[in-house]
A and B are shown apart, each in its own frame.
Chain A
Amino acid sequence: MASLDTGGGDSGHKKGPGVKKAKKLSTRVDMTPMVDLGFLLITFFIFTSTMSTPTTMALNMPKDEKDPEKQNEAKASGALSVMLGKNDQVYYYEGELAPDASNFKSTNFKGIRDVIIEKKKAVIASHQHNAQCEEIRKRNNGDPNSCRDRDFVVVIKPNEEATYKNTVDALDEMTINGVKRYAIVDIVPVENELIKKTEASGGAR
């Protein structure tokens, strides 16, 4: 490596007897400490580095509307309520909660995606032609799906045991499945009781 060719040992001609041999000093540098230090630095940089730059996710909350006249109405047929409980459990029902809670179902984060996709399909399929919708469609260069899912609303209701991760995952699910209208709402006691009951009966299917 960092050594000079000193001309080999035997290549020179023999000196006569009595002539002292010049002591040959090795010109090789011991590299071990440098390599050690190199690896130490590599490990240091690997551990301290932040490889992936963090991203940001926009969250827009609606203005607190106290006047019930101005509050947004959601059609029950297009609504999907998603409740988040502990241990990453997800509960949901479509439309309005039945008095006997027969449409209250439980799933997990893997299952909820299919539920959302199915519901979205169902809402698009049951879409009825109207003038307002046609106008939006024209504005969006005739994209047929741009307004058919207008009635589709997902309401996210985390309970007090849901984690922040669950909330972000649920919001992410909205982006992933192209849900345009969604909201985070406080859970209603009735729903929370149903969650507790399902948890108590070990009912996570």
Chain B
Amino acid sequence: MTPFVDIAFLILTFFIMATKMKPPEPVEITTPYSVSSKELEQKDALMIEMDKDGRVFFTMNTEKPADNELKYSLIKNLNQARNLGLSEAEMRSFVKNPTVGVPFNKLKPYLATPEEQRKTVKQEGIPVTDSANNELYYWVRDGISVFSGRQINYMIKGDNNSKYPVFKGIIDALRRNDQNKYRLITSPEAVPMGTDLYRTRGASAPTASAD
């Protein structure tokens, strides 16, 4: 049994070293595959997620923990502009967990819920599909204003089965803010053989193909 146990513990050590814990996610999202090879970076970002039922979640990520005050200013601005009536403690709870998937009129009860009970609350998603009432627009607008000119990434993480109109609603919210460059979060996939990309990526030196 000795070698067996040895191997088992070797595997165990490998997994401990090699794993990066999954960060807690508000929803289960299975991202589609793409041939893109650029890795995801942790940066100042506004992350927009959509799950398979078309619910939209907004998250504000800051690169440095010291920038947490920016999250506070975001919720404070929104509180004033939209008359949400949030208390100080509720705004602080947003700073701790800056993911929101509820319409503005449900934001107060949601943030008032203690952190441990959040999981049980069914969030209905930020409304985006109705262009007259695209609330994501305000989230993004205030996100841009608190980052005040810094380079922000717009991450869009969508589920395989979410429908296109929701995606279009997200794009619309961003485009109305004059933001036209986004990053779609995907899982890596191999490049199919024999295609143009396969040739350009595979070739170590650029070879001029015959005319």
Contact = CB atoms under 8 A, between A and B. Distances in A.
Are A and B bound to each other? yes
Contacts of B20: 49-50, 53
Contacts of A51: 18
Given A48-B19, A162-B163, A54 B31 contact: yes
Interface of A: 1, 31, 35, 38-39, 41-42, 45-46, 48-64, 84, 113, 117, 142-145, 158-169, 171-172, 175-178, 184, 186
B105 to A, nearest CB: 26
Contacts of A117: 195-196
A177 B38 contact: no
Contact of A59 (B12, B37, B163, B181): B181
A42 B12 contact: yes
A64 B164 contact: no
A48 B36 contact: no
Given A1-B2, A42-B11, A57 B34 contact: yes
B180 A49 contact: no
Interface of A is mostly: mixed
Interface string B19-61: 1111000000001111111111100000000100000000000
Given A35-B8, A50-B20, A55-B34, A166 B164 contact: yes
Interface of B is mostly: mixed
Interface stretch (B83-91, B115-123, B184-192): B184-192
A84 B163 CA distance: 11
Given A56-B183, A61-B180, A38 B164 contact: no
A41 B17 CA distance: 13
A64 B171 CA distance: 12
